[in-house]
Amino acid sequence: MIPIEYFLALSAILFSLGAYGALTRRNTIVVLMSIEIMLNAANINFVAFSSFFNDVRGQVFALFSIAIAAAEVAVGLAILLNLLKTRETIDLEDIHILRW
């Protein structure tokens, strides 16, 4: 039986990597992928605690989370596609109209 701390450490490392990627990369697709990594870090926690407490609800949540991540990627990619069409770039440095 692998102790739960290992899972939590893995999850924390994955989350931090994802967060680093999401904050620093300029390519929007990479940012999207980093966000997926962060989501999966959370999923690992769900599954680990589910096994730790012997409670199946954690796994159910993990499945939910995966389904939502899929939907999110679909929407996110669609937005990116439109962005590419209208502004001909997906570089986050160039997309800064979200201000007054």
HSE-up of residue 64 (Cα within 13 Å, Cβ side):
8
50/63 Cα distance (integer angstroms): 12
HSE-up of residue 49 (Cα within 13 Å, Cβ side):
12
- Considering only residues 75 to 94 of the shown chain, the ones binding another protein according to CB under 8 A are 92-93
What's 27's DSSP letter?
B
Q: Which stretch binds another protein (CB under 8 A): 2-10, 21-29, 39-47, 81-89?
A: 21-29
Between residues 75 and 98, which has the closer beta carbon with respect to another protein? 98
**Tokens read off for 20:** 């680093």
40/66 Cα distance (integer angstroms): 8
Q: Mask 32-71, x = binds another protein (CB under 8 A)?
A: ----------------------------------------
Between residues 24 and 82, which has the closer beta carbon with respect to another protein? 24
**Residue of the chain from 24, 27, 82, 89 that contacts another protein (CB under 8 A):** 24
**Residue of the chain from 3, 5, 75, 99 that contacts another protein (CB under 8 A):** 99
